[in-house]
């Protein structure tokens, strides 16, 4: 957006971009990691890494993902 504002040269747009840049404070919420292994047939099988996934798997909800 900043590049477009600079190309355009419109003062109102430039000021708007400046306000957004100054107000924007990103924060990291979570990191997600997935792990897989190949079974004997070459299918990629998801390895549960969270306690929720383990509980679901124990309750019979299959989490396999074929690629």
Q: What is the pLDDT of residue 11?
A: 93
Query: What are the CA-CA distances from residue 8 to residues 5, 17, 25, 36, 42 (Å)?
Result: 5, 12, 25, 48, 53
Residue 61 has pLDDT above 80, yes or no: no
At residue 30's C-alpha, the angle toward residues 25 and 34, to 5°, is 145
H helix intervals, 9-65: 11-23, 51-58
* Predicted TM-score of the model (pTM): 0.40
How many Å apart are CA 51 and CA 20, to the nearest integer? 39
Q: For residue 65, is pLDDT > 90?
A: no
Average pLDDT of the chain to the nearest whole number: 82
The two structure tokens encoding residue 61: 């909800």
Domain ranges in the chain are 1-28, 31-67
């Amino acid at each position: 957006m900043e590049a477009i504002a600079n190309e355009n040269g419109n003062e109102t747009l430039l000021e708007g971009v400046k306000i957004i840049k100054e107000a924007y404070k990103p924060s990291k919420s979570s990191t997600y990691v997935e792990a897989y292994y190949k079974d004997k047939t070459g299918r990629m099988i998801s390895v549960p890494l969270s306690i929720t996934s383990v509980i679901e798997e124990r309750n019979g909800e299959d989490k396999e993902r074929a690629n």
